[in-house]
Amino acid sequence: MADNQPVIVLVRPQLGENIGKAARAMLNFGLTEMRLVSPRDGWPNPSAGPAAAGADQVLDGAQVYETLAEAVADCANVYATTVRKRGVTKPVVTPEQAAREIHTAPGRSAYVFGPERSGLETEDVALARAILTVPINPEFASLNLAQAVILCAYEWSKGADLAQPTAEELLPPAPQDELEGLIGHFERFLETKNYFWPETRAAANRLTLRNLLTKPGWNHLEVRTLRGILSTLEDARRKRD
């Protein structure tokens, strides 16, 4: 676990499916520590596993607490996620601001999420050091639990140096001789269709075709696929003839 990995605390979650979806959102962005405060249907919940879609390590390691105070007892930086004013004077931050603070602040940190229907109660927010909220459509300000978790997890992940797909995982562009073969194949096929007529436009049309086919940076499999398509079209034409 990364030293600055925040804890995800779900307060009185109502549905096992939502706990599972939250676990999936967490693991997508490298978070693994989930804490549950008085889950309505108890724990473990058989509905959570299928919804987690493979994020079993998060569910298997989830810890259950009776109160939010117990769940965040070891956390120095606690962020209460809410879009509603609670009459509690707290600093208000965005997920991006909270993520930056978590990466630099000493001590453990926690993102706290309320029940699906009602969100966090005033007493829950009072335990936090800051309120975390997002700019959102005031006429439709309802986020589901997994959506709220993924917003925070994503912002945290941007500073966590998670592994990214590398260029080596992508096939390199095809060498020029393969592209020339593809261009020649297109030209021969199009000549049979009188594409390059009239002659006065032939040179310009050939140049446009060349630019079109060299622009995308096809890899060798894509070049082979395109040539296979042309060969299929040529074979179909011969059969008709």
User: 150-200 pLDDT, tens per residue?
Assistant: 999 999 999 887 766 555 567 788 899 999 999 999 999 998 888 888 889
Q: Can you say whether the dihedral through the CA atoms of 141, 28, 96, 82 is positive or negative?
A: positive
What is the identity of the amino acid at 241?
Answer: D
Q: What pTM does this model have? A: 0.69
Q: Which phi and psi (to 5°) does residue 81 adopt? A: -90, 120
Range 116-121 average pLDDT: 86
Percent of the chain with pLDDT over 70: 93
pLDDT beyond 60 at 1: no
Please state which of the ranges 55-64, 86-95, 124-133 shows the lowest mean pLDDT. Answer: 86-95
| DSSP string over 184-224 | HHHHHHHHTTTTT-SHHHHHHHHHHHHHHHHSS--BHHHHH
Task: Assign 93 a pLDDT band (cuts: 50, 70, 90).
Answer: very high
Q: Enumerate the domain spans of the chain.
A: 7-157, 168-240
Q: Which fold has domain 168-240?
A: Helicase, Ruva Protein; domain 3 (1.10.8)
Classify residue 209 as exposed, middle or buried by CB count within 10 Å of its CB (0-12, 13-18, 19+).
middle
pLDDT beyond 50 at 221: yes
Other beta carbons less than 10 A from residue 197's beta carbon:
11
Please state which of the ranges 89-93, 107-111, 182-186 shows the lowest mean pLDDT. Answer: 89-93
User: What pLDDT does 173 receive?
Assistant: 87
User: What pLDDT does 40 receive?
Assistant: 94
What is the identity of the amino acid at 140?
Answer: F
Q: Which residue has the higher pLDDT, 47 or 239?
A: 47
Q: Can you say whether the dihedral through the CA atoms of 37, 41, 47, 49 is positive or negative?
A: positive
Q: Are 130 and 93 in contact (CB under 8 A)?
A: yes
What is the identity of the amino acid at 46?
Answer: P
User: What pLDDT does 162 receive?
Assistant: 73
User: 66-84 pLDDT, tens per residue?
Assistant: 999 999 999 999 999 987 6
User: What pLDDT does 76 receive?
Assistant: 94
Rounded alpha-carbon distances, angstroms, from residue 164 to 103, 146, 158, 160: 19, 23, 11, 11
What tokens appear for 183 in the block? 């261009």
In this structure, whether the domain defined by 7-157 belongs to CATH 1.10.510.10 is answered with no
CB burial of 33-47 (b: ≥16 within 10 Å; e: otherwise) equals bbbbbbbeeebbbee
The residue behind tokens 């927010």 is 125
Percent of the chain with pLDDT over 90: 67
Q: Which residue has the higher pLDDT, 233 or 72?
A: 72
